[in-house]
Amino acid sequence: MNMKRTTPTKLRSRSVSISALVAVLVLICGTGHADMTELLPKCTICHGEEGISDEPAYPSIAGIPVEVQVDAMRGYRDGTRDCGPVSRMCKISEPLTDAEIRELSEYFAAFPFIPAEQDFDPDLATQGSFLHEDFCEVCHGDSPEDSDRSILHGQWKEFLKYSLSQYKIGARKQPPSMRRQTEKLSERDIDALVNFYASYGTSERPQNR
């Protein structure tokens, strides 16, 4: 083909730089916008539509601050955060890019956290409210909205009990600053805390402040 020879050099180089620009733009937009329609069902199957889990073994992730979710997902993917045997978070996060992790985190963080409605023992819940204040509140806050970390208030009992027991027996890594607090807990303390967090879903929760 001799088309090229007839194209003026100046015009050709301009069209090359325009197509280069388009390619760069496509690349930027392409990586910035993960294909959410494909990714989301891989999360909502356990964490629920809009991040509210109706399965007691899985935590709700709606409303957890974006950076906390990004940290958690990167930790699972890069091996700095353990995955309990129940979850497949390590496997699930393995193929995700940083941009996809951020987009998923922003998506779930934008929904309001809704406490799970569940039974609890009121006496244990009262004991748990004091334990929470002494050992956990500094990082996990006094309500779902107040947590700078994973949300505990209104989270499913089964998930919490399982996570805390795993931490206690050393089956899961945890931040050193949290270990100093969780290693003081007896089995009964764990039950008390779990019942306190479960009580958050109802109006009968203990008022100790």
Residues that bind ligand HEC (CB under 6 A): 39, 42-43, 45-47, 58-59, 61, 64, 69, 72-73, 75, 81, 83-84, 86-89, 92, 104, 135-136, 138-140, 149-150, 152, 160, 163-164, 174-175, 177-178, 181-182, 185, 193
Shortest CB 13 distance to ligand HEC, Å? 44
Any residues with CB less than 8 A from the CB of 146 and at least 6 apart, and which? none
Q: Provide, rounded to whole angstroms, the least separation between the CB of residue 59 and ligand HEC.
A: 5
State whether residue 154 is helix, strand or coil: coil
Q: Mention every residue, 6+ apart, whose C-beta is less than 8 A from residue 42.
A: 92
Q: Which is nearer to ligand HEC, 126 or 150 (CB)?
A: 150
**Residue 156 is which amino acid?**
W
Minimum gap (Å) between residue 89 Cβ and ligand HEC: 4
Q: Which is nearer to ligand HEC, 20 or 134 (CB)?
A: 134
| Shortest Å, Cβ 131 to ligand HEC | 7
Give the contacts of 79 (CB within 8 A, at least 6 positions apart).
Answer: 90
- CB nearer ligand HEC, residue 15 or residue 98: 98
Residue 74 or 202 with smaller CB distance to ligand HEC: 74
- Of residues 140 and 205, the one with the C-beta less far from ligand HEC: 140
For residue 32, CA distances in Å to 19, 25, 93 come to 20, 10, 17
Cβ neighbours around 166 below 10 Å, total:
17
Instruction: Write out the DSSP string of 93-108.
Output: HTT--HHHHHHHHHHH
Min. distance of Cβ 170 from ligand HEC in angstroms? 14
SS3 (DSSP) at 44: helix
Rounded to whole angstroms, how far apart are CA atoms 126 and 115?
18
